[in-house]
Structure formats: C-alpha cells, structure tokens
Amino acid sequence: MRIALELAAEAAQANEVPVGAIVVSEGQIVGRGRNDRQQSHDPSGHAEIVALRQAATAVGAWRIPKSTLYVTLEPCLMCAGAILQARIERVVFGCRDPKSGAVRSLYAALEDPRANHRVQVIEGVLEEESREILQAFFTRLRTGVDKTDKDVDS
C-alpha cells in the first residue's frame, strides 16, 4: 500500500488526481499505476486500469487470478468492472470515495452475488494517509496555491 501511496504522490506532482495502485501476484508486483487521465487524454486512465493493464501484460493473460490490487481510493464503477473481468481475488483500498465509490460507498459491485465473480474487499488500510493526499491536492486546486495546471495544458 505504501508503494500505491508513492504512485499517488507522483500523480499529484503531475497535476493528476492523486490515486495510486499496484497489483501483486504470487508475492510479486506485476502492475503499477497512477491516475494519468490529463496527460494521456484517456478517460479510462485511472490508477487501477493502468495497473491492471500492466499486470495482464506481465502475466500474459487478461485474467489475473490469485492476485491482490492495492489502491489508495475506493474504485469507481468502471474500475470495479475491470477488476471483476480480470478475476482479481482481493482488493485492498485506503479511503472511501463517497461520490463515485463502487465497492462500498455507492455500490457493492465486487461482492454482488449476481456477478460471476466475487472479490474479497479490505478497506481502511493507510486510510488517513490516502485521504490526506487527496485533501491536500484538492485544497491546492481550490485555493489556487499551485497554478501549474496552465503549464500542463499549454
């Protein structure tokens, strides 16, 4: 989870929403990701998706069973769908996302008995650190302390 937090910090430095994720399979990190929607101009550029793509390439298959995804923020509905498709065994996340969280906050997509796959969910790991990095980022955006967004867009 600490590595996911480091990736979230990298995202913040790049003026991306600070979310980081890693995929661990058989004790090895096989995927790393951070939000990169602004830089990639890709609406699916969420940390989880980036990490899952890298992990799938590393294992040579779209299914990544017996693996754990660690992410600093509760996954959204798009990411929850990708997690189910990849057959991830467990998701560990830092803090809830009350506006778009699809794992506990708004939905329970990963544990829905109607789905063909269910994922064990563990929440609250390094919750405070995960929340703090997000709050600091959005405070900076609201207060205009760091106006590097113009530099990124030009």
Residues assigned a catalytic role: 48
The conformation of residue 107, written as its DSSP 8-state character, comes to -
The residue written with tokens 């064990």 in the block is: 120
Residue-by-residue DSSP string for 25-83: ETTEEEEEEE--HHHHT-TT--HHHHHHHHHHHHHTSS---SEEEEEEE---HHHHHHH
Q: What is the rounded (10 degree) CA torsion for 122, 4, 15, 132?
A: 60
